[in-house]
Structure 1
Amino acid sequence: MKIRKFKMNESGLNRFFGPLEAKIMDILWNDVEMTIKDVQQMLDKEKVTNFNTVMTVMNRLVEKGILQKRAEGRSSLYKPLQTRDEFLSAQSKEMTNELMDEFGNVVVSHMLDALEDVDDDLVAKLEQKIKELKKEQ
C-alpha cells in the first residue's frame, strides 16, 4: 500500500494519515483485532468522536488497504495488514526510492550530510550495506 500524501509539516503517524486515522492506527497497532465499538471506546477516553465517524474512517482504511476487516457474528473485526514497523519501513523505502528516482545525487548528498547527526551504529550499518553492494557488482 502506498500512502499518496506525505505531510512534511506534520510529525509521527500524522505524516501519513489524517489525525483521526493516526489515532485509530495507533490503537489498532497495540492490539490484535478490534471492533469499531472497541476502537471508539478507546478514543472516547480522549473524548474524540462518535461511533459513525469511527466506522467511516475505519472502513476507508480498509478501502485503502491498510486495515483488514472480517465478520464475526454480527460484528466486524479490524486489524492492520502490517505491523507499525512494517508499515513505516515500507513507506520510508517507497519515499526513498521516489526521491532517488527524481533527485538522485542530491538525495545521496543530503543523506550523507545527515549522517553527521546519527549514532555510530547507523553509520556502521551503512558501511556494511555499501560493502555488500560492492560485492554484488
Structure 2
Amino acid sequence: MLIRKFKINESGLNRFFGPLEAKIMDILWNDIEMTIKDVQQVLDKKKVTNFNTVMTVMNRLVEKGILQKRIEGRSSLYSPVQSRVEFLNAQSKEMTNELMDEFGNIVVTHMLEALEDVDDDLVAKLEQKIKELKKDI
C-alpha cells in the first residue's frame, strides 16, 4: 500500500496520514489488536475525539489497506497490515524510486550532500552497497 499524499512540510507520521489517522496508527503500532473503543479510550485520555469519529477514521484506514479488521464474537479487532518499520521502509523505498525516476542524478547528488549530516555507520553502509553494486557490473 502506497500513501500517495506525502506532506513535505509535516513531520513523522503526519507526512503520510492526517492528524487523527497518525495518532490512531501510533496507538495500533504499539499494541497487537484493539477495538475502536480501546483506541478511543486511549485517545480520550489525551482529550482527542469521540467514538464515532474514531470509528469512521479506522474504517477508512481499513478501506485504504492500512488496517485490517477481524471479527471475534461481537467485537471488531483492528490491527496494522504492516509493522511501523515495514510501513516506513515501503514508503521511503517507493518515494526514493519515484524521485529517481523523475529527477535522476539530481536526487543522487542531493542524497550524497546530505551524507555530511549523518553518522559514520550510514556512510559505511552506503560504501558497502556501492561495492556490492560494482561487483554485479
Identity between Structure 1 and Structure 2 (%):
88
Tell me, which stretches of 5 or more residues in structure 1 are unaligned?
A: none
**Is residue 75 of structure 2 the alignment partner of residue 75 of structure 1?**
yes
Other structure's SS at 1:13 match:
helix
- TM-score, normalised relative to structure 2: 0.99
Q: Distance between the aligned counterparts of 1:61 and 1:15, measured in 2?
A: 15
Equivalent residue number for residue 119 of structure 2: 119
Q: Distance between the aligned counterparts of 1:135 and 1:84, measured in 2?
A: 33
Other structure's SS at 2:104 match:
helix
Q: CA deviation at 1:108?
A: 0.3
Equivalent residue number for residue 91 of structure 1: 91
Question: Aligned AA for 2:134?
Answer: K
- TM-score, normalised relative to structure 1: 0.99
Equivalent residues in 2 for 1:1-137, closer than 5 Å:
1-137=1-137
Other structure's SS at 2:127 match:
helix
Tell me, which stretches of 5 or more residues in structure 2 are unaligned?
A: none
Other structure's SS at 1:32 match:
coil
Other structure's SS at 2:135 match:
helix
Per-residue CA deviations over 1:89-124 (Å, capped at 9, x if unaligned) read 000000000000000000000000000000000000
Q: CA deviation at 1:136?
A: 1.3
Q: Distance between the aligned counterparts of 1:56 and 1:75, measured in 2?
A: 16
Q: Distance between the aligned counterparts of 1:129 and 1:68, measured in 2?
A: 35
Question: Aligned AA for 2:114?
Answer: A
**Aligned pairs, number:** 137
Other structure's SS at 1:82 match:
coil
Question: Aligned AA for 1:80?
Answer: P
Question: Aligned AA for 1:86?
Answer: E
Provide runs of 4+ in structure 1 moved above 2 Å. Answer: none
